[in-house]
Amino acid sequence: MKKIIISGGGTGGHVFPAIAIANALERSGQDVEILFVGAEGRLEMEKVPAAGYRVIGLPVRGFRRRLTWENAAVVASLYRSLRAARRVVDDFRPDAVVGVGGYASGPVGWAATRAGVPLVLQEQNSLAGVTNRLLARRAARICVAYEGMERYFGKEKVILTGNPVREELPRAIHAREEGIAFHGLDARRKTVLVTGGSLGAASLNRAVSRWLERFAAWDDVQVLWQCGKGYSQGLERALRGTIPPNVILTPFLERVELAYACADVVVARAGACTISELTLLGKAAVLVPSPNVSGDHQTRNARALVDKGAAILLADGEVEARLADTLAALLADDGRRRDLSERARALGRPDASERIAGIILSVTNKN
Protein backbone atom coordinates (compact mmCIF):
# COMPACT_ATOMS: atom_id res chain seq x y z
CA MET A 1 0.00 0.00 0.00
CA LYS A 2 1.15 3.53 -0.85
CA LYS A 3 0.59 6.07 1.93
CA ILE A 4 0.23 9.68 0.77
CA ILE A 5 -0.13 12.90 2.77
CA ILE A 6 -1.71 15.87 0.98
CA SER A 7 -1.04 19.12 2.83
CA GLY A 8 -2.24 22.69 2.47
CA GLY A 9 -5.50 24.50 1.87
CA GLY A 10 -7.08 27.61 3.26
CA THR A 11 -9.05 28.59 0.15
CA GLY A 12 -11.07 26.78 -2.48
CA GLY A 13 -8.22 27.39 -4.91
CA HIS A 14 -6.09 25.06 -2.82
CA VAL A 15 -8.69 22.70 -1.36
CA PHE A 16 -10.58 21.63 -4.48
CA PRO A 17 -7.45 20.79 -6.51
CA ALA A 18 -6.16 18.83 -3.51
CA ILE A 19 -9.36 16.77 -3.37
CA ALA A 20 -9.21 16.22 -7.15
CA ILE A 21 -5.64 14.89 -6.78
CA ALA A 22 -6.77 12.54 -4.01
CA ASN A 23 -9.62 11.25 -6.16
CA ALA A 24 -7.21 10.64 -9.05
CA LEU A 25 -4.92 8.68 -6.74
CA GLU A 26 -7.89 6.56 -5.71
CA ARG A 27 -8.69 5.90 -9.37
CA SER A 28 -5.11 5.00 -10.24
CA GLY A 29 -5.57 1.29 -9.62
CA GLN A 30 -2.94 1.30 -6.90
CA ASP A 31 -3.69 0.52 -3.28
CA VAL A 32 -3.40 3.94 -1.58
CA GLU A 33 -4.15 5.43 1.82
CA ILE A 34 -4.54 9.21 1.85
CA LEU A 35 -4.30 11.58 4.80
CA PHE A 36 -4.93 15.31 4.51
CA VAL A 37 -3.23 17.82 6.79
CA GLY A 38 -4.71 21.31 6.84
CA ALA A 39 -5.03 24.37 9.06
CA GLU A 40 -7.48 24.43 11.96
CA GLY A 41 -10.63 26.41 11.24
CA ARG A 42 -10.01 26.67 7.50
CA LEU A 43 -12.09 25.47 4.56
CA GLU A 44 -10.35 22.09 4.27
CA MET A 45 -11.60 21.03 7.71
CA GLU A 46 -15.13 21.05 6.26
CA LYS A 47 -14.64 20.09 2.61
CA VAL A 48 -12.15 17.24 2.99
CA PRO A 49 -14.31 15.10 5.34
CA ALA A 50 -17.29 15.82 3.07
CA ALA A 51 -15.27 14.30 0.23
CA GLY A 52 -14.65 11.16 2.28
CA TYR A 53 -11.07 11.71 3.47
CA ARG A 54 -9.48 12.00 6.89
CA VAL A 55 -7.95 15.37 7.79
CA ILE A 56 -5.77 16.54 10.66
CA GLY A 57 -5.64 20.24 11.50
CA LEU A 58 -2.54 22.20 12.52
CA PRO A 59 -2.71 25.46 14.52
CA VAL A 60 -0.76 27.31 11.82
CA ARG A 61 -1.85 30.81 10.75
CA GLY A 62 -0.69 33.37 8.22
CA PHE A 63 1.49 36.38 8.98
CA ARG A 64 0.00 39.87 8.93
CA ARG A 65 1.57 42.02 6.22
CA ARG A 66 1.77 45.03 8.50
CA LEU A 67 3.94 45.20 11.61
CA THR A 68 1.78 44.00 14.51
CA TRP A 69 2.11 42.12 17.79
CA GLU A 70 -0.27 39.52 16.36
CA ASN A 71 2.66 38.12 14.40
CA ALA A 72 4.24 36.98 17.67
CA ALA A 73 1.27 34.63 18.14
CA VAL A 74 1.67 33.51 14.52
CA VAL A 75 5.30 32.57 15.21
CA ALA A 76 4.22 30.57 18.25
CA SER A 77 1.56 28.74 16.23
CA LEU A 78 4.11 28.01 13.52
CA TYR A 79 6.45 26.44 16.08
CA ARG A 80 3.62 24.25 17.41
CA SER A 81 2.65 23.32 13.86
CA LEU A 82 6.20 22.27 12.97
CA ARG A 83 6.27 19.96 15.97
CA ALA A 84 2.82 18.59 15.16
CA ALA A 85 3.75 18.06 11.51
CA ARG A 86 6.81 16.01 12.52
CA ARG A 87 4.59 13.81 14.71
CA VAL A 88 2.12 13.29 11.85
CA VAL A 89 4.88 12.29 9.43
CA ASP A 90 6.53 10.01 11.99
CA ASP A 91 3.24 8.32 12.88
CA PHE A 92 1.76 7.97 9.38
CA ARG A 93 5.08 7.08 7.68
CA PRO A 94 4.06 8.32 4.19
CA ASP A 95 5.66 7.20 0.94
CA ALA A 96 5.22 10.75 -0.41
CA VAL A 97 3.94 14.14 0.70
CA VAL A 98 2.10 16.52 -1.62
CA GLY A 99 2.04 20.26 -0.91
CA VAL A 100 -0.70 22.26 -2.63
CA GLY A 101 0.12 25.61 -1.02
CA GLY A 102 -1.53 27.32 1.91
CA TYR A 103 -0.66 27.56 5.58
CA ALA A 104 -0.27 23.86 6.44
CA SER A 105 1.81 23.03 3.39
CA GLY A 106 4.98 24.58 4.83
CA PRO A 107 5.28 22.68 8.13
CA VAL A 108 4.32 19.35 6.57
CA GLY A 109 6.65 19.80 3.59
CA TRP A 110 9.50 20.70 5.95
CA ALA A 111 8.79 17.67 8.15
CA ALA A 112 8.66 15.37 5.12
CA THR A 113 12.01 16.42 3.72
CA ARG A 114 13.63 16.19 7.18
CA ALA A 115 12.42 12.60 7.32
CA GLY A 116 13.65 11.80 3.82
CA VAL A 117 10.14 11.49 2.35
CA PRO A 118 9.76 12.60 -1.31
CA LEU A 119 7.93 15.91 -1.63
CA VAL A 120 5.80 16.87 -4.65
CA LEU A 121 4.62 20.47 -4.89
CA GLN A 122 1.61 21.69 -6.85
CA GLU A 123 1.69 25.37 -7.79
CA GLN A 124 -1.64 26.68 -9.12
CA ASN A 125 -0.72 30.27 -9.99
CA SER A 126 1.52 31.99 -12.50
CA LEU A 127 3.25 33.74 -9.58
CA ALA A 128 4.71 31.09 -7.29
CA GLY A 129 3.56 31.20 -3.68
CA VAL A 130 5.98 31.91 -0.87
CA THR A 131 5.57 28.48 0.73
CA ASN A 132 6.27 26.61 -2.50
CA ARG A 133 9.29 28.80 -3.23
CA LEU A 134 10.71 28.03 0.20
CA LEU A 135 10.15 24.28 -0.22
CA ALA A 136 11.20 24.02 -3.87
CA ARG A 137 14.89 23.28 -3.21
CA ARG A 138 13.95 20.13 -1.29
CA ALA A 139 11.13 18.98 -3.59
CA ALA A 140 11.40 15.96 -5.86
CA ARG A 141 8.94 17.32 -8.44
CA ILE A 142 7.01 20.56 -8.92
CA CYS A 143 3.75 20.43 -10.91
CA VAL A 144 2.79 23.77 -12.45
CA ALA A 145 -0.12 25.19 -14.43
CA TYR A 146 1.65 27.88 -16.45
CA GLU A 147 4.58 28.04 -18.80
CA GLY A 148 7.74 29.81 -17.66
CA MET A 149 7.65 28.71 -14.01
CA GLU A 150 11.30 27.68 -14.28
CA ARG A 151 12.15 31.25 -13.27
CA TYR A 152 10.98 30.40 -9.76
CA PHE A 153 11.92 26.77 -9.36
CA GLY A 154 14.64 25.79 -11.81
CA LYS A 155 14.05 23.70 -14.92
CA GLU A 156 15.00 20.22 -13.76
CA LYS A 157 12.08 19.68 -11.34
CA VAL A 158 9.24 21.51 -13.10
CA ILE A 159 6.52 19.59 -14.96
CA LEU A 160 3.70 21.43 -16.78
CA THR A 161 0.55 19.54 -15.74
CA GLY A 162 -2.19 22.16 -15.49
CA ASN A 163 -4.45 22.55 -12.46
CA PRO A 164 -6.86 19.87 -11.27
CA VAL A 165 -10.52 20.89 -11.27
CA ARG A 166 -13.57 19.73 -9.38
CA GLU A 167 -14.82 16.34 -10.51
CA GLU A 168 -18.26 17.60 -11.53
CA LEU A 169 -16.98 20.26 -13.94
CA PRO A 170 -16.53 18.20 -17.15
CA ARG A 171 -20.21 17.29 -17.25
CA ALA A 172 -21.01 20.98 -17.77
CA ILE A 173 -19.89 20.67 -21.38
CA HIS A 174 -23.14 18.91 -22.30
CA ALA A 175 -25.57 20.12 -19.62
CA ARG A 176 -26.91 23.45 -20.94
CA GLU A 177 -30.57 22.45 -20.84
CA GLU A 178 -30.19 21.12 -17.29
CA GLY A 179 -28.43 24.31 -16.22
CA ILE A 180 -31.15 26.51 -17.74
CA ALA A 181 -33.86 24.54 -15.96
CA PHE A 182 -32.01 24.44 -12.62
CA HIS A 183 -31.61 28.22 -12.51
CA GLY A 184 -35.04 29.06 -13.93
CA LEU A 185 -33.61 30.75 -17.01
CA ASP A 186 -34.96 31.23 -20.54
CA ALA A 187 -33.40 28.87 -23.10
CA ARG A 188 -34.01 31.41 -25.89
CA ARG A 189 -31.77 34.05 -24.32
CA LYS A 190 -27.99 34.31 -24.14
CA THR A 191 -26.75 33.96 -20.57
CA VAL A 192 -24.09 36.00 -18.80
CA LEU A 193 -22.75 34.45 -15.58
CA VAL A 194 -21.23 37.00 -13.19
CA THR A 195 -19.41 35.40 -10.27
CA GLY A 196 -17.06 36.76 -7.66
CA GLY A 197 -16.46 33.33 -6.16
CA SER A 198 -17.99 31.99 -2.96
CA LEU A 199 -17.26 35.22 -1.05
CA GLY A 200 -18.37 37.51 -3.86
CA ALA A 201 -16.55 40.57 -5.22
CA ALA A 202 -17.55 44.14 -4.32
CA SER A 203 -16.44 45.65 -7.63
CA LEU A 204 -18.42 43.14 -9.70
CA ASN A 205 -21.48 43.71 -7.54
CA ARG A 206 -21.21 47.48 -7.97
CA ALA A 207 -20.83 47.05 -11.72
CA VAL A 208 -23.92 44.88 -12.13
CA SER A 209 -25.92 47.15 -9.80
CA ARG A 210 -25.00 50.22 -11.85
CA TRP A 211 -26.16 48.74 -15.15
CA LEU A 212 -29.39 46.98 -14.14
CA GLU A 213 -31.55 49.38 -16.15
CA ARG A 214 -29.46 48.77 -19.26
CA PHE A 215 -29.53 45.01 -18.76
CA ALA A 216 -33.33 45.19 -18.47
CA ALA A 217 -33.48 46.56 -22.01
CA TRP A 218 -31.62 43.54 -23.48
CA ASP A 219 -34.47 41.39 -24.77
CA ASP A 220 -32.27 38.46 -25.78
CA VAL A 221 -29.92 38.39 -22.76
CA GLN A 222 -30.22 37.26 -19.15
CA VAL A 223 -27.75 37.63 -16.27
CA LEU A 224 -27.10 35.02 -13.57
CA TRP A 225 -25.48 37.12 -10.83
CA GLN A 226 -23.74 35.32 -7.96
CA CYS A 227 -22.98 38.06 -5.44
CA GLY A 228 -21.59 36.20 -2.39
CA LYS A 229 -23.27 35.44 0.93
CA GLY A 230 -21.82 38.49 2.64
CA TYR A 231 -23.30 40.88 0.08
CA SER A 232 -26.69 39.32 -0.68
CA GLN A 233 -28.88 40.82 2.06
CA GLY A 234 -27.53 44.33 1.55
CA LEU A 235 -28.00 44.13 -2.20
CA GLU A 236 -31.52 42.76 -1.89
CA ARG A 237 -32.46 45.66 0.39
CA ALA A 238 -30.75 48.33 -1.70
CA LEU A 239 -32.11 47.06 -5.01
CA ARG A 240 -35.61 46.02 -3.95
CA GLY A 241 -37.98 46.62 -6.84
CA THR A 242 -35.24 47.50 -9.32
CA ILE A 243 -33.86 44.08 -10.29
CA PRO A 244 -35.36 43.25 -13.71
CA PRO A 245 -36.82 39.81 -14.49
CA ASN A 246 -33.87 38.92 -16.74
CA VAL A 247 -31.36 39.32 -13.87
CA ILE A 248 -31.24 36.47 -11.33
CA LEU A 249 -29.50 37.40 -8.07
CA THR A 250 -28.18 34.52 -5.95
CA PRO A 251 -25.80 34.50 -2.95
CA PHE A 252 -23.96 31.39 -4.09
CA LEU A 253 -23.97 28.71 -6.76
CA GLU A 254 -25.18 25.40 -5.37
CA ARG A 255 -24.25 23.61 -8.60
CA VAL A 256 -21.39 25.56 -10.12
CA GLU A 257 -21.13 23.15 -13.04
CA LEU A 258 -24.72 23.92 -14.05
CA ALA A 259 -24.07 27.66 -13.86
CA TYR A 260 -21.13 27.24 -16.24
CA ALA A 261 -23.21 24.93 -18.45
CA CYS A 262 -25.76 27.60 -19.34
CA ALA A 263 -23.30 30.52 -19.63
CA ASP A 264 -22.46 32.03 -23.01
CA VAL A 265 -20.15 34.57 -21.34
CA VAL A 266 -18.57 34.42 -17.87
CA VAL A 267 -17.47 37.48 -15.90
CA ALA A 268 -15.19 36.37 -13.08
CA ARG A 269 -12.10 36.87 -11.00
CA ALA A 270 -8.86 35.29 -12.25
CA GLY A 271 -7.96 32.85 -9.50
CA ALA A 272 -6.10 29.74 -10.60
CA CYS A 273 -9.11 27.47 -10.05
CA THR A 274 -11.40 29.72 -12.08
CA ILE A 275 -8.91 29.96 -14.95
CA SER A 276 -8.59 26.17 -15.06
CA GLU A 277 -12.36 25.74 -15.08
CA LEU A 278 -12.89 28.29 -17.84
CA THR A 279 -10.23 26.74 -20.08
CA LEU A 280 -11.43 23.19 -19.46
CA LEU A 281 -14.96 24.19 -20.51
CA GLY A 282 -13.89 26.61 -23.24
CA LYS A 283 -15.88 29.57 -21.95
CA ALA A 284 -15.71 33.09 -23.40
CA ALA A 285 -14.68 35.13 -20.38
CA VAL A 286 -14.21 38.66 -19.13
CA LEU A 287 -11.61 38.43 -16.36
CA VAL A 288 -11.47 41.00 -13.56
CA PRO A 289 -8.40 40.18 -11.42
CA SER A 290 -8.65 40.87 -7.71
CA PRO A 291 -6.25 43.59 -6.58
CA ASN A 292 -6.25 42.17 -3.04
CA VAL A 293 -3.92 39.21 -3.61
CA SER A 294 -0.19 38.81 -3.10
CA GLY A 295 2.02 39.92 -5.97
CA ASP A 296 -1.02 40.79 -8.11
CA HIS A 297 -0.92 37.15 -9.21
CA GLN A 298 -4.48 37.17 -10.58
CA THR A 299 -3.47 39.70 -13.21
CA ARG A 300 -0.61 37.40 -14.19
CA ASN A 301 -3.04 34.48 -14.38
CA ALA A 302 -5.38 36.49 -16.59
CA ARG A 303 -2.54 37.66 -18.83
CA ALA A 304 -1.67 34.06 -19.61
CA LEU A 305 -5.06 33.84 -21.40
CA VAL A 306 -5.40 37.39 -22.68
CA ASP A 307 -1.99 37.34 -24.39
CA LYS A 308 -3.15 34.29 -26.36
CA GLY A 309 -6.48 35.80 -27.34
CA ALA A 310 -8.39 33.50 -24.97
CA ALA A 311 -10.08 36.08 -22.68
CA ILE A 312 -10.84 39.78 -22.20
CA LEU A 313 -9.23 41.66 -19.31
CA LEU A 314 -10.86 44.45 -17.31
CA ALA A 315 -8.98 45.98 -14.38
CA ASP A 316 -10.84 46.01 -11.09
CA GLY A 317 -10.89 49.80 -11.09
CA GLU A 318 -12.51 50.05 -14.53
CA VAL A 319 -15.06 47.24 -14.42
CA GLU A 320 -17.88 49.40 -13.04
CA ALA A 321 -17.58 51.89 -15.89
CA ARG A 322 -16.88 49.45 -18.71
CA LEU A 323 -18.76 46.23 -17.95
CA ALA A 324 -21.98 46.97 -19.85
CA ASP A 325 -20.24 48.17 -23.03
CA THR A 326 -17.82 45.23 -22.94
CA LEU A 327 -20.64 42.72 -22.60
CA ALA A 328 -22.79 44.41 -25.24
CA ALA A 329 -19.97 44.22 -27.80
CA LEU A 330 -19.17 40.61 -26.97
CA LEU A 331 -22.78 39.41 -26.96
CA ALA A 332 -23.37 41.03 -30.35
CA ASP A 333 -20.35 39.30 -31.91
CA ASP A 334 -20.90 35.55 -32.22
CA GLY A 335 -17.58 35.11 -34.01
CA ARG A 336 -15.62 36.82 -31.22
CA ARG A 337 -17.25 34.67 -28.56
CA ARG A 338 -16.58 31.54 -30.57
CA ASP A 339 -12.94 32.53 -31.05
CA LEU A 340 -12.45 33.22 -27.34
CA SER A 341 -14.07 29.91 -26.50
CA GLU A 342 -11.91 27.90 -28.90
CA ARG A 343 -8.70 29.58 -27.78
CA ALA A 344 -9.57 29.04 -24.11
CA ARG A 345 -10.35 25.37 -24.67
CA ALA A 346 -7.01 24.91 -26.42
CA LEU A 347 -5.30 25.94 -23.17
CA GLY A 348 -7.28 23.52 -21.00
CA ARG A 349 -5.65 20.44 -19.49
CA PRO A 350 -8.42 17.95 -18.67
CA ASP A 351 -5.97 15.26 -17.53
CA ALA A 352 -4.21 17.38 -14.90
CA SER A 353 -5.38 15.33 -11.91
CA GLU A 354 -4.30 12.05 -13.45
CA ARG A 355 -0.92 13.44 -14.52
CA ILE A 356 -0.20 14.75 -11.03
CA ALA A 357 -1.31 11.48 -9.44
CA GLY A 358 1.06 9.60 -11.75
CA ILE A 359 3.95 11.89 -10.78
CA ILE A 360 3.24 11.34 -7.08
CA LEU A 361 3.18 7.58 -7.50
CA SER A 362 6.38 7.67 -9.56
CA VAL A 363 8.35 9.30 -6.74
CA THR A 364 7.06 6.70 -4.26
CA ASN A 365 8.37 3.97 -6.54
CA LYS A 366 11.81 5.60 -6.55
CA ASN A 367 11.86 5.96 -2.79
Structural domain including 306 reads 169-347
Q: Give the model's confidence band at 64: pLDDT under 50 very low, under 70 low, under 90 confident, else very high.
A: low
Q: In this structure, are 70 and 128 located in the same domain?
A: yes
Query: From CA 117, how far away is CA 139, in angstroms rounded?
Result: 10
| Cβ–Cβ < 8 Å for 173, 24 | no
**Mean pLDDT in residue range 96-124:** 95
Vertex 241 angle, CA 237 and 246, to 5°: 110
Q: In this structure, are 143 and 175 located in the same domain?
A: no
130 Cβ contact list (under 8 Å, min separation 6): 294
Q: In this structure, are 153 and 122 located in the same domain?
A: yes
CA contacts within 13 A on the Cβ side of 47: 21
Q: In this structure, are 173 and 59 located in the same domain?
A: no
Q: In this structure, are 177 and 291 located in the same domain?
A: yes
Q: In this structure, are 68 and 198 located in the same domain?
A: no
The per-residue pLDDT for 72 is 54
Q: In this structure, are 341 and 362 located in the same domain?
A: no
pTM beyond 0.85: yes
Q: Distance between alpha carbon 192 and the CA centroid of its chain, in Å?
A: 20
Q: Give the model's confidence band at 239: pLDDT under 50 very low, under 70 low, under 90 confident, else very high.
A: very high
Q: In this structure, are 237 and 341 located in the same domain?
A: yes
Strands (E), 89-200: 96-99, 119-123, 141-144, 158-160, 190-195
Q: How many domains does the chain have?
A: 2
Q: Which pLDDT tens digit goes with each residue over 268-307?
A: 999 999 999 999 999 999 999 999 888 899 999 999 999 9
Q: In this structure, are 323 and 178 located in the same domain?
A: yes
Q: In this structure, are 200 and 306 located in the same domain?
A: yes
**Mean pLDDT in residue range 171-185:** 93
Query: Does pLDDT of 341 surpass 80?
Result: yes
The per-residue pLDDT for 65 is 53
The per-residue pLDDT for 90 is 97
The per-residue pLDDT for 37 is 97
Q: In this structure, are 147 and 190 located in the same domain?
A: no
DSSP 104: T
CATH number, domain containing residue 6? 3.40.50.2000
Q: In this structure, are 183 and 283 located in the same domain?
A: yes
